[in-house]
Structures are given as C-alpha cells and as structure tokens.
Structure 1
C-alpha cells in the first residue's frame, strides 16, 4: 500500500524539482568541473566517472570486482560508463540516488561516511567531489550522451624526471584534451599509482621519495594512461664521471643514463671471472681447468672477443639455448608424450644449431600442423588446446603481452579490450586434432596423452565474445582485421604479421628475452609484460637493440655476441659507492643463482662423475635432457639427478612462461647438497678426487687443480694453506709409495687420509656461493 502511493508522490516531487529554477544557494561550487554550470550540468562520462575512479569505487578491490561489493557492481576502472550509469541510477529500483534531495542519496551518504560503508569514507561533504555529484543529481542525474565531449588526449608534465637529494618530492601536472577542442587541468581528479615501493604518491599527484632508486608513476584519467619514469638520486656534489671506454653502442646508451643518474659503473671483471661467466652464459658449463688457465695466461688484447666467437660456434651453444626455449614452449612428457618431447626438443635444438633466423623459427611454430611426431613444430598447438590458450600463449611468448585480464573485462593496466582478446583468439579458432588411441599410463589423468596426434586446420565453431554473444571477427593484436584473402589461411596471415621486422612488439620482446638470459634482468621486466605503463628501463637502448636484431636477420648468435662483447656485460659484480643501490641500470653485473641443470652438470664436470637420470643413458648432461620427467618414474623411483633438478627449480613446463623456473634458495636444497646423491659421487673410487688422491702430484698441485676445475681460478694463499693443513693433518704421514696408497684406497676408499681430505675440499667448493652463483 505504501509503495502504491509513494511512487506517484516521488514522480511528482521529481517533476516539480526539475521544473523549478535553481535557487541562488544551489549554484555549482567553484571547484566543480569546468563543463558544469547552472546551464550545463556535469556530464556523466567526463565529469562523474573521474570522481568514481578517484574515490576508488571502481577498483578491483571494491565495486569494480568481478562480483561487485555490497550488491553494487561497477565496470572495472570505469571502462563502461553506460553500464555504470545503469547500476547507479536505475538498478535496485533507483534506491541509490535521490534527485529531489541529493544529500540523501544512498551512494553519496555511504561515500561520505553518513551511512556505514565497507569501503569507508571516500570523500568529505565539503570536498569538490561531493559538490560535483550533488550538482549532477540536482540536474536530474543525466546519463551518458553521444553528443558529450570525449577524452582525446592526456598530457603529463614532466614526462620523466630525476630528483636529486635533498629534494624529495616531485609534483606532476595533468592536462586532459577533449573532442570539442577544450582542455582542462585534471591534476586533482586523475588517479596515480607507482610501480614499486621506492616512493609514495598522494591524491594530488605529488610523488615523495621513500628510498633512492627508480620508479614509474602511472597517471590514469578515464581511459587514458601515461607512465612517468622518475629517478630519486643522491646529491653527490663531488661526483666525477669516470668516463669508461665504450666497447659498442650498448655501452653508449647504458653509460649515458648512468652519467645522468650520477652513477659510475664498476670496473671490468677480472679474466678469471669473465672466463667462467661467458662459458656459463653461452654454453651452460664452466671451463675446464686447462681452458681457464689458457685464457687467463693469454696476453692478447682481443682474447675476450675471440673466446666469445669460439663459444658461440660450439655444439653446446645449441644444447643450452634449446633448454631455454624448451622451457617456455612446454616441452614435457604428459601432454606431448615421450616421443613428441624428443622430436620437438630435437627440432628446437637443430634450428639453433643451424643458425636459423628466429623469425622463421617462430613462423614454423605458429603455422605448425600435421603429425606431432613427423612435424615437430605441430607440438606447439598440441600443448595449447583451445583458442583462448593459444592466443594467450602466442601473445605472451612472441609479443611479450599478458592478455589474461582482458578475457573477462578490458585490461586494467593495458590498452587491450575484451573485444581485442576474443578477436585475437579467433585467429586460432580453426585448429582441430585427429587423435588416435590414447595409451596413457594413468587412466585417471585426463591431461596425459600417449601416442601421436595430428594438428590440422578444420572448420570449427567461431569464437564468440561472451559479453555480446557475437562472433569475434579475427583481428591482429593492435592491428587490422583479416581481409578475405587472409581469412583463407589465418595461420599464414598471422605468421606474416607477427614476424614482420616492423612489428615492434615482436622484435622488442624477442630481443628482451635474449637480453634477460644474459643479463639476469630484462630491459622490460617482467619480460612478458610489455605495456605502456611498464616502459623499458632504457628506452633508447631497447630501440637500438631491437633494430640491430632485425637488421641482422634475427640472428641469435649475432645478438648474443653483441651483448657479450659490450663493456656492460663484462663489468664486475663488485659495487662502488655510487652504484651499491643500483638494481636496474646495469652499472655492475647482476649476481644470480645458476639454473638447476647447470649446477648439476658443474658438479659432474668437477668430479668427473656424471649424474644419473631415469630413462636416459649414463653420460647425458642435464642441459641436454629433452623433457621434464621420464614416464618411467611411475614405475621406478627417480634417480638422484632427477631429485636434484626438481629440488633446485627445474620447471614442470605447465606454463608458457620463464617465470615458472625457480632459482631461489631453499632449506631443502641444503639437505640435497649434504645428502647421499652428492656424497656418493664424491666417494666414487673412479672420479677425479680418487685419481688425484692416487696421483704422484704434490698436495699443493692437487689443491690448485681442484680450485681451477671448480672456480676457474687458483686458490688464495689463505685457501691454499687451509687446504694443505686439512690434507696433511696434525700427524702427517704420507704413504711409503703410490702402490701402498692405491692398495689402501681400493681396499678402503674412505680410509685414505688424502682422499678423505680431498673429498672434504671438493665438497666445500661445490657448496660455495662462488660455485652456485654466476657473478
């Protein structure tokens, strides 16, 4: 009964309110939007929506959540003004607004703290935001209009900045330009975020340093976003640029930035460090003792460049770099089958060994069809089973772009829309499979498939956008829709567009992947997150490297050699007083733990005792293993080598992402390093330790040999003294003859003092940080 009478009364009240002229005390406040006036009420799209964004109402943690909050759901970050208007004004029977008495509107009372609100108070009743919203309500809460001006430009000043101590704060100024030719200062209504914790930013866009270093301010207003790189540096009034010699163009770009930031690079690393570093990065193993000694003793000035060229030509280069691509291409046994893994990995390695250009390698992957056993590249689609996964994986690997967020809504941090996501996925929709008998071992595991499959192009259902339920027309990511000719062979058209030298995202993402493998940190970090709001740490260098890579014909060895021959790559890891806090500018070498496979192979090389892996022949190196885990592990216990790789972070290859590999240190790794696997190999009567213990070489020579084999350098005087004391012991009594020593070792390998001591020394070297970390 109440509702029956209340509704006409409300309608009448609203009509009277609309018909009544504004009283003098109802004029809009001075702080209201420039487009708002008694004759021109605030516009929902360009006036009201920024207020909602500024207050955080449409963030993912609030009403922009997929399921909304408190019964109200808004589009994430205001991507759909029409939807938001319906939710605020018309949903819930219009209970959230009161145009007759704006101050009584539920959504205003909650936001201003007048009513309990899970999100707390978002603004006060005397704030410009509150005044603008009440002004909008007094004008009848008008909705989005096709005639309303649109945001067409956003300018932020400064575009980048260096803030030197004692200055701690940097204000920014934001100007928006609209389609009607007007512009306004939106500094107070723009939204601000920072890429890390080096600084804080307030609601007015003032960035304040918390610690020295670089950060990126992301400025967002409506649908536009702008990044502002900011570096907070120490004053260093007495700073003098060291003016190091540049070896190539990489150094010129790196040093130009370091000079601006008042950071001097570390000196060149020593030869003993360089030879170890370049072997590890190029071919995934350490130099032998003889190789290291020969390099260090070589007086030639060009020996570093000559060593790099020699390493890039070795077969081990293909072994090691095939491992990197096998990780991200999901080369694992459960989905591809053991034979599929072997042929796919072999194909990857052959491409690298033959020097095939990277763009052709990628072209074969995205067009790969046929038997997955006979046509190895087809395994790319065998591991990616539906259009969405294919689209996400291809964008991540070959465009450095994360699309997952756009599957449910427009991407909150990038330019990609939900339409872009499904139009891109549609490129991969016409892929089907001919599947034979599945001879899987685990009948309960639906993801396992044993046997061949044929990947083929077939007539399949088109991809539909779930929001509109309309067929998504195939479209390149950030490019054009396919024409009629391209629609006849979508994969070929995709390959042409994707690998084109002028496809900036493709060239830069592949360049960045290689840079990351050598330098330990991408110019864009993470390496699969290229977006406007995550710019390269050195944009001019990124542009030069990408151009150089494309001009070389996408030659992997050429780019690797160029990077390795730079002074930047060859810098020491030892910090100086100006670069001790640098993490992103490459002023010194980035120390990092080595991959699991490399550490295990290093142990095998030092001990001359290979690790064992289930399902693989004795002597295979860990970096040469095609897959992850042999299917025989279900019938037999894994070998010590398999357990080591798992513990030290070898990825399961479930994700098409280098992030799946872990190089972190854990407590479990400690127990592996002191456990039976390593100890058994240390105590082997046929390994290097046993041979050195039996040799006629002096104790000093033996210690020297172990240090060169494990650390690519001679022992320091203190290390040599300690090692000799351990070998000789307090009651040193050498064997009467080498025959007596041999007899003692054979009859009781653990009973020989020299052998025991050398095992202890080798164990200490294999557990040293200098051994486990690449510097």
Structure 2
C-alpha cells in the first residue's frame, strides 16, 4: 500500500512538473520567432491574403511579416478582444478562422491537432505576450542539399531548412518554410519540402523563410539508353561552359549551321541588315577556313555595329524628344543624348566609363548629352527620385528594386532600408531653367535631405546595395555611387551587362528576363554567366570584344535544327533560337532588299530605322512609338525601362500587315531592285536566284527553282510574276525570322 501511495505521489509530481514546463514554454513563446513564422507558413501575410496593401476582409498584416511590431498591434491591440481571447484561447477568432470553424475567405489553413494550432493556442493562453526583449533575428538560411540529380526521370527526395540566427544559433524551420518550384513539369515540391521528379530537364526549387529565399538546383536526367555525347570541339570558354552543362543534362548540341545561314544570322545580329548579294557571293566563294571569324571582325569593326547598339541603348534609356516638352526632353536634348551615345559606342569606349559619365553628369540638357539620363529615364515634368532609382537599378543592375518600396522584397534579399538608402543618391537632383526656353540645367543640390523611410520616417543616408554603412556625407553622393557601380569588382554590374549582351545575340538571357535578377530567378548556367562577366571586365568593358567572343563561339554558330535530345531545350543554348526580327531591323531589311526607302516620321528620308527614335509634336510622357509600324511589330513604346517593352513574338496583325499593308506591296510595284533585276538579267532563273540571295541569303533548292520557273511561264519579262515571287519570299517565315 505504501508503495502505491509513493507511486501516485511521483505521478502527481511529474504531472505538476509537466504543467509547469508547459506554462514556462507558453510564457516564453516568442511572437517573432514562433507566431510570425506560423502566419507566414499558413499564408496569412501573403500578398493574396492579409498581406495585401489594404489587407483582406478588414484585417491587414505586413507582407511576409516585414513589420512584426505593427502585426502584433493589429492582432492583439487593434479591436482588443476580437481576434484574441486569452480567457478561452480556443475561442480566439485567430484560431477559429484558421481551422475553418467559422467562415473564412482563405478557407481552412490547418486543423486543431497541428503544430501550428498548438503554437498559437499556447501563446494565446500565456496572454499573447509581445517579446519583452530583442530576440535573435534570422540572418540567413541553409538548405540540406545544394544540388539534386534524378537519373532516368523518376525519384523522390526532400529538403531540410535551417535558419541562421543573429546570436550564432541555428533552428530547423523545415515545417515553417514555404516552398515552390520554378518548373512544376520538371520537378514538384510539396509543403513539407518533399521533391518529386517529373519530365527530364533542369530547374530550381526554393525554400522561403522570414525575409530570405534560397534555392537548390535540380536536374532530371533522361534515360541514358541510346545517348552518346558527340564531343563537339570547343572554340572558346563559352563552348566549354555550355557543353559541360549540356553533357551533364544528356543533351547533345545541334550541328553547326551552314555558311549561308551563318552569314545571314551574323549580319543581321551585328549590322542590323541582311548581307548584300555581293557579300553573299564573296563569302561563299571564300576558301579560307577562318572566313567566319574574318566576317565577324569586319562587321564588329564597322560603324553600323555601334549604330545598332546605339539604338538598343537608346531604347533602354528611353530617349525621346518632343516639340512640346515641359519635362526637359525637347528634340534638341534627345539629339544631344542620342549622338553622345553613338560617339561613345563608335569609339568602343569602355562600358563602365560610358555609364559612369552618365551617372555623374550635370549641366545643360541641350549641350551635355549624358546629363539627359536625368531627364529621359523617367519622363516627367518634375524629377521623381523614387521612380528614377527604380529604373536606374533595373537598367544598370537588372534589379527590380521598386518591389522593396512598401515592404521587403518578397522574392529577393533587398529590404526597405536598401530601397530608401538607394533613393537618397538622387533626392538632390534638381533642375533650373537655362538661357533658352528649351534648356534645363541639371545639378545636385547638396542641401537636399535624404529619403525618409516609409515605415517610421527615419532619414536614410545614401547607401549602395548590399552595404551596411552609408557613403560619406557631404558633396554629391553620385560620385560614390558611380565608383561603386562601375568598379571591376562589382559583379552585379558586369553580370548585368554581360547577360544583356548575350541575350541580344542569342535571343535569351542566361538570366531571363534580363532585368529580373533575383535569388529566385537564378542563371540557367552560372559558370557561363560568371565567365562572360569576367571576360567583360578583363577586356576593359569592351562591347566589341565580348560580342566577338560570343559570335566566334561554336555555341552561337549552332544550327536551329534540333535533334531528339535537345528538341525541348529552351534555356541551355543547345541549338540556335528562332528569333523574329526586331521592328527596326525588319523595316531596314525590307528597305535594303527592295531598294525602296521608307519615310520615318520627323526624320530625313534616308534615315535608317536603327537611327530612329520617337520625335513627337507633343510631350514625351506615356507610351510613344513614333511610327505605327513599330507599334505593330513590338518595338519598345518607351513607356518604361522593362525589357518586356520589346516584343518579338509574331502576331496575326503582323502577318496581315506584311501581306496587305503598305510596307511590302508598294515597294514591289514602284520599281527599285526588282525592276532593275527583271530588266537586266538574261534569264528567269537568274532573277529567281538573285531574289533568293536578296531575301533569304541562299540559293533556291532545285524543287523551288523548278516550281517557280513553271509559275513564270513563257512571259519571262512579265514583272507581275516576279513581283508575286518576291512578295512570297518577303512574307515567308524564313525572311521575318533570324535562324
């Protein structure tokens, strides 16, 4: 009996100790370390729910929990007693809605047996305390695996997520993180971090916790049966990195394109026009083994190469001029900016120096071209530092920093402190009237205050991205910004430039889109991008040098014809991409092959489309094309700096325009090249061959020549038949696309 009493006493003491331990745990529950992660995991503070700008159904939380103090107030103190019931925790609206016990727009998030429910209930039962002292903050994440490979298209795996805390400790947050896959058809990841392979390919899966996201690369290999690596020769470092990646993915690159395809491709890419008939004949007759490299060097050395890139930079920098331009962007200012860009690129000025001069520029918008970075990157009657900072980071760094204006960036490492510190580089930019009415003088007012933080109105001194301390006070902070931005060791800058140059020549960025650089949008081939950026720095930021490297690589010269292993590849450059010609290149190509010019608004008659920018009778705010052809064929409207402004996808309206619009038909019947050919060539076969040279940079096949000769019939000097043939060639996919 005595033993029984002792046993019962021990049991009672153990139960009491357990209760005390639970009470201690509840009392020590951390709002920031325990409650906020549950709200994040359940999606309560996501943008589609209570983390929206105006909240949801009368309740608002900070997006992904960037403002814990504000969230605590809104949960506990705002409308006290409505969301939290410390007397009967189970009756708290926070729990009832989360478990679906009462109507909830977001539906049931978890049940009352889950760890999330229990964490919230214990906290509420303890009186829903706020953190009495500072608790360790999350300063980073670790994933259990950096790379995962599934062989043969099947398999499962899982990730564990560890939070790194500011006090040096670590915490397993696998059950509190959120997960997503960049390509669910290749691999899926569920809410527990379990990964399931799909079809063959490569992608990344990500875990997000607190303000951090971290990814793991995943490769799903196709079956090895029947695959043999062809071991293509590498011409340079580009091929080395591309082929290594393809070999690891069991993707065989396509063969080299033929000489005709290469000549047309490289001339369109480097000179923004098709090769002439004389160039075609000379290249095809050239017996030298290095004739492709010779042609590349010839084209890159030409002024036309620089002129084409002037057009590309002018689009990115939103160069436009208006006769009524209260926002300091008259045509004279636009001309000054455009011609300054052209001079720099024709001289192959190092791109970092080119950018540095723009960033630090001051003076007259009419006489000092680069100062128009501050009048044209954002077209507005008044300079707006926030809008300018966002566009500046997107153009020169590829970073969409505007996502951190009202909350921490939801998909990258940048927070509101980074955003407002960066804006402060431009808060002193001012304008004053010059000698004449069109002139504005741009200067930096060193007395201007820095940007104020949105959350607490703290002044935020100018600070470069990724830095802890602001730049030195006093003077014009743009000098420090330019020095940091364009320094050889700033990989953000060199990688952005290298990626944009690559995308222009290859049809897709290694990071795609090129102006959406973030942790959750990693490079398709990190070693390749790193090598390109390093090469750009080593060449003293020479555009011509990097373009030459790309064009001389075997990767650039691959055929667009796919093989069974690379037919589905869209991001590893195993074959050339089919690229519809840019609007400006297309109209210049039509003019070149027909020999008939086209008038472009407010420019001289012989102006090439690549030398055109919108000159307007009105102001330059809003989307502007300057010509309806550019609008139809997806030229940038210059309404923003986004790379998506340029659209190269074919549309029905483009097809109709080419078939029945005023671009092709009038140039066939009005004379020009076609009339001269019909009048001078001895035979129809010679005319047909010449038309193929002009339009497609190749000879007609035997079948094509025979069928077209039959179409002409006995009327060998009838221009109508040749007009029909030329019209068909210019409306072909082969003409409109670079392949």
Give the distance between the partners of 2:44 and 2:21, measured in 1 at CA: 23
Aligned pair 1:286/2:274, yes or no? Answer: yes
Number of residue pairs the alignment of both structures matches: 711
Q: Deviations over 1:403-439 (max 9, x none)?
A: 1111111111111111211111111111111136997
1:207 alignment partner, one of 195, 198, 217: 195
Aligned residue for 1:498? 485
Give yes or no for contact 1:628–1:651 (8 Å, CA) kept in 2.
no
CA distance in 1 between counterparts of 2:474 and 2:565 reads 57
Structure 2 distance, partners of 1:712, 1:155, is 54
Q: Corresponding residue for 1:551?
A: 538
Which of 549, 560, 567 is residue 547 of structure 2 equivalent to? 560
Q: What's the counterpart of residue 189 of structure 1? A: 176
Is the 1:267–1:572 contact (alpha carbons within 8 Å) kept by the matching residues of 2? Answer: yes
Measured after TM superposition, the shift of residue 212 of structure 1 is 3.2
Once the two structures are superposed, the pairs formed by residues 511-660 of structure 1 within 5 Å of their partners are 511-625=498-612, 627-631=613-617, 642-660=627-645
Q: Is the 8 A contact 2:153 2:199 kept in 1?
A: no
Q: How far is 1:25 from its partner? A: 8.8
Using the TM superposition, give the Cα deviation of residue 645 of structure 1 relative to its aligned residue in structure 2, in angstroms. Answer: 2.1
Is 1:420 matched with 2:418?
A: yes
Tell me the secondary structure at the aligned position of residue 230 of structure 1.
Answer: strand
Show CA shifts across 1:331-376 (max 9, x none): 0124522222222111111110011110011011111211111000
SS where residue 467 of structure 2 aligns? coil
Paired residue for 2:69, among 74, 77, 82? 82
Residue correspondence of structure 1 range 300-699 to structure 2 within 5 A: 300-334=288-322, 336-383=329-376, 384=378, 385-435=383-433, 451-458=438-445, 459-484=447-472, 487-625=474-612, 627-631=613-617, 642-699=627-684
Q: CA deviation at 1:633?
A: 12
Unaligned runs of 5+ in 1: 1-20, 30-35, 440-450, 735-740, 742-753
Q: Secondary structure of the equivalent of 1:94?
A: coil
233, 242, 249: which one aligns with 1:254:
242
Distance apart, 1:505 and its partner CA: 0.6
Instruction: Provide structure 2 residue ranges, at least 5 long, that are not aligned to the other structure.
Output: 1-13
Equivalent position SS for 1:48: helix
Deviations 1:112-155 (A, max 9, x none): 01110010000011112112221222222222343433334421
Q: Separation in 2 of the partners of 1:308 and 1:215? A: 34
Measure, in 2, the Cα distance between the counterparts of 1:696 and 1:180.
Answer: 84
Distance 1:511 1:696, change over 3 A: closer
* CA contact 1:614–1:632 (8 Å) conserved in 2: no
In the TM superposition, residue 482 of structure 1 has moved relative to its aligned partner by 4.2
Contact map agreement 2:211 2:410 (CA 8 A) in 1? no
**What TM-score, normalized by structure 1, do the two folds share?**
0.88
**Structure 2: distance between partners of 1:86 and 1:438:** 56
Number of the residue aligned with 1:758: 722
Q: 1:169 to 1:629 in 2, by over 3 A?
A: farther
Tell me by how many angstroms 1:605 deviates: 1.1
Contact kept? 1:59, 1:77, Cα under 8 Å: yes
Choose 190-199 or 350-359, whichever is displaced more.
Answer: 190-199
Q: Pairwise mapping of residues 4-153 of structure 1 onto structure 2 (< 5 A)?
A: 38=25, 41-153=28-140
Indicate if the aligned counterparts of 1:191 and 1:219 stay in contact, CA closer than 8 A: yes
Q: Distance in 2 between matches of 1:338 and 1:712?
A: 38
In the TM superposition, residue 700 of structure 1 has moved relative to its aligned partner by 0.5
C-alpha distance in structure 1 between counterparts of 2:15 and 2:410, whole Å: 39
Distance change >3 Å, CA 591–CA 169, structure 1 → 2: farther
SS of 1:378's partner is helix
SS in 2 for 1:761: helix
Instruction: Give the deviation of 1:390 after TM superposition.
Output: 2.0
Cα distance in 1 for partners of 2:565, 2:665 equals 46
For residues 576-607 of structure 1, the C-alpha deviation after alignment (integer angstroms, 9 at most, x for no partner) is: 11111111111111111110111111111111
Deviates more, 1:50-59 or 1:226-235: 226-235
Range that drifts further, 530-539 or 161-170: 161-170
> Given that residues 193 and 201 in structure 1 are in contact (C-alpha distance below 8 angstroms), is that contact kept between their aligned partners in structure 2?
yes
- Residue 658 of structure 1: how far off its partner (Å): 2.5
Q: Distance in 1 between matches of 2:220 and 2:614?
A: 44
- Give the SS at the match of 1:672: helix
- The superposition leaves residues 698-725 of structure 1 with CA deviations (integer Å, 9 ceiling, x where unpaired) of 1101100000111110001111112111
Q: CA deviation at 1:544?
A: 1.2
Shift of 1:222: 1.8
| TM-fit CA distance, 1:491 | 1.6
Match of 2:8 in 1: none
Conservation of the 8 A alpha-carbon contact between 2:331 and 2:615: no
